[in-house]
Amino acid sequence: MIRFLCRFFSFIALVMAIGAAVMDSIESVASSTVITTSFESLWGDVDASGLALAKQWVATHIGGWALQSMQSAVLRQPAFAIFLGLALVLWMAGYKRRSSAGRFAA
């Protein structure tokens, strides 16, 4: 069941990455410059209170240094890259390795 959920959420993250990449490419073609949407601005557009709550939680429970690290390492990166990385990690967590003995081994 856990493998199924990991693969399902990996698929959802992959769809979101493709959607973010398509939106960035459309905007880049329209403006004739490379434009990427940061994860922070995407999250702020979708759920501003959730972003503020996450920042407040990190600042109070972990510390201000962690908030600065989170902002530079995660929130300022392109949204499609964050979603692609999340999809990869979830896919690896839900991956089922094939039997080394083969398909018809007893």
Per-residue pLDDT at 64: 81
Taking only the tens place, the pLDDT of each residue in 6-62 is 999 999 999 999 999 999 999 999 999 999 999 999 999 999 999 999 889 988 888
Give the chain's domain count.
Answer: 2
Identify whether 100 is part of a domain.
Answer: no
Q: b/e string for 31-56 if b means 16 or more Cβ within 10 A?
A: eeeeebbebbebbeeeeeeebeeeee
Per-residue pLDDT at 106: 59
Per-residue pLDDT at 37: 92
44 with 55, same domain: the answer is yes
Identify whether 105 is part of a domain.
Answer: no
2 with 25, same domain: the answer is yes
- Domain of residue 4, residue span: 1-37+79-95
Helices (H), the chain: 2-31, 39-46, 48-61, 64-70, 79-93
5 with 18, same domain: the answer is yes
18 with 49, same domain: the answer is no
Taking only the tens place, the pLDDT of each residue in 50-102 is 999 988 998 888 888 888 888 888 889 999 999 999 999 999 999 887 777 76
Identify whether 102 is part of a domain.
Answer: no
Identify whether 66 is part of a domain.
Answer: yes
Identify whether 31 is part of a domain.
Answer: yes
Identify whether 10 is part of a domain.
Answer: yes
